[in-house]
Amino acid sequence: MLPTRALIGMIHIPALPGTPHHSRPIDEIVAAAAEEARLLDQAGFDGLIVENMHDRPYLHGTQPPEVVAAMSLVAHAVAHAAPRLIRGVQVLSGGNREALAIAHATGGAFIRCENFVFAHVADEGLLTRAEAGPLLRYRNSINAKNIKIFADIKKKHASHALTADVSIAEAAQAAEFFSADGVIVTGAATGKPASLADVAAVRNATRLPVLVGSGVDPGSVKALFDAGADALIIGSWIKRDGLWSNPIDAQRCEQIIASRR
């Protein structure tokens, strides 16, 4: 599904109804996401993810219907704005069933899932249940096996004291054993670079596609691919001034695409 050395752009949707920072009408939110999808397409990205990062602070687990409805509208609009791109969904925090349903209904190709294997202590609280078992059963029940699940391992914005005796390579192997379709390696937080050693260790530990999910910039693209990454997810760097909460900057998109050549 992923082309060789794929670049995937992140669309951080403006805060959705019911969340602390919500302020914009739904039609403006949808239009803004569609425009960013067009910018990614025009720049030459291979894929995109829509994510509700502006909904902070997050409630982990089942997500409210107003969030699911709004993200469905966004995913539908993005599909029409950039039909060429491989499209993914992430619903924070822990809205993995919701993300699967949204992707399935709107022609998406994958979801990004945190906490797929092992428990985590994250900034949104204690994530006690690994998602793999119930999530894969739900995917089967809605006949959505075509939607890939890319799983974060040693997820960002989390402490890993509980699993300190589990290496990142072992976490990748656990995700593969539990039937993930790909694994995502990150730095410690949004915008923080992943370790090249971690990427290489994961590449050597699993046959799954390896994605890098934070801190990618033009100077790191070649090194990350050379270390074994199959795809890079880029959010913060392609935003105006390199700040994740700003809109996507067309010139920065072109720069990151040029760095792959």
In the chain, the number of structural domains is 1
Q: Is residue 213, in this structure, part of any structural domain at all?
A: yes
Q: Which H or E run contains 6?
A: strand 6-12
In this prediction, residue 160 carries a pLDDT of: 87
In this prediction, residue 127 carries a pLDDT of: 85
pTM (2 decimals)?
A: 0.96
Q: Is residue 221, in this structure, part of any structural domain at all?
A: yes
Sign of CA dihedral 29, 35, 39, 41: positive
Q: Is residue 179, in this structure, part of any structural domain at all?
A: yes
Residue 239 CA to residue 219 CA, distance in Å, equals 16
Q: How many beta carbons lie within 10 A of that of residue 51, not counting itself?
A: 22
- R_g (Cα) of the chain, nearest Å: 17
Q: Which H or E run contains 210?
A: strand 210-212
Q: Is residue 37, in this structure, part of any structural domain at all?
A: yes
Domain limits for position 200? 6-258
> Is 90 exceeded by the pLDDT of residue 107?
yes
In this prediction, residue 158 carries a pLDDT of: 83
Q: Which of 189, 241, 254 lies closest to 215, judged by CA?
A: 189
- CATH code of residue 179: 3.20.20.70
91, 99, 113 from 72: Cα distances, Å: 11, 9, 17
String of b and e for 56-78 (b: at least 16 CB within 10 Å)? eebbbeebeeebbebbbbbbbbb
> Is 90 exceeded by the pLDDT of residue 24?
yes
Q: Is residue 1, in this structure, part of any structural domain at all?
A: no
In this prediction, residue 39 carries a pLDDT of: 98
